[in-house]
Amino acid sequence: MTRQKILITGASSGLGEEMARRFAAAGRDLALCARRTDRLDTLRGELVAQYPSISVAVRELDVTEHDSVVRVFGELRDELGGLDRVIVNAGLGKGAKIGTGKAHANLATAQTNFVGALSQCEASLEIFRAQDSGHLVLVSSISADRGLPGPKAAYSASKAGVAALGEALSIELARTPIRVTTLLPGFIKTDMSAGAGDDAALMASLDEGVSAMVDAIEKETTRAALPGLKWQGIDAALRFLPNSVTARFV
């Protein structure tokens, strides 16, 4: 099945922006959301100039405002004449050691990454249930496999929540026309990862990372750690090896 009408949140930069380019090149119609509308407008201009046969709708959206998520998703569905796929991608990478007086960074990350993802799932599935079809994609992280210490604690916890939500929805909707995919990317080179202190030796290029993500999305894989066998192996190690072994690596 070709999912022609695709909504992507967090589309103004990084993984979301590059996924938009890939789907546009495949001739898909796009609904792009982010807080930075100037970047969305620039991206829209680029895509419609390069691929004049597609439709690209853009909206400002803060995913921590639930009423806005529901309204914007509904507006974009109406503008495109339906939604076939929603990619829940918007996220934050802020963080500080818990208890060091910088709770605002951890709370913002948890609110955006998990509560915001839940809001997007609510809005998406209300649309998909009404039309009895759709594909929901949740962008989690390999950090969901094991709680990370220090400034990444809140981030890994928020992404674990996203992964658990995806697993729950996959089970619930398995016998329906609605598909659910959870992606667990490893280190992929973006502006956000540049400030996170991720291991450069493990870093995949944006091209490699997004290629793997789009491939898994198009196959509608239920769960995918990526890109490549390296991150599948790390995923398995973090999930199944004891803490005494994995603690030295996280």
Tens digit of each residue's pLDDT (9 = 90 or more) over 187-218: 999 987 656 566 778 899 999 999 999 999 99
- CA–CA separation, 175 and 164 (whole Å): 19
At CA 134, angle to CA 129 and CA 136, rounded to 5? 100
- Identify the segments of the chain with pLDDT beneath 70: 193-198
At CA 40, angle to CA 53 and CA 70, rounded to 5? 95
Q: For 64, which DSSP code?
A: T
pLDDT of residue 191: 80
Residues 6+ apart with CB under 8 A from 7: 30, 31, 32, 33, 73, 76, 83, 85, 86, 87, 124
At CA 192, angle to CA 97 and CA 6, rounded to 5? 125
Q: Tokens at residue 49, please?
A: 């100039």
pLDDT of residue 63: 98
pTM, to two decimals: 0.96
Task: Report how far apart, in Å, the C-alpha atoms of 101 and of each of 7, 96, 106, 236 are.
Answer: 37, 9, 10, 35
pLDDT of residue 138: 99
Q: What value does the mean pLDDT of the chain take? A: 95
- CA–CA separation, 96 and 151 (whole Å): 4
pLDDT of residue 200: 77
155 carries an active-site annotation: yes
Residue ranges of domains in the chain, CATH in brackets: 5-184 (3.40.50.720)
Say which of 155, 162, 179, 181 is annotated catalytic. 155
pLDDT of residue 133: 98
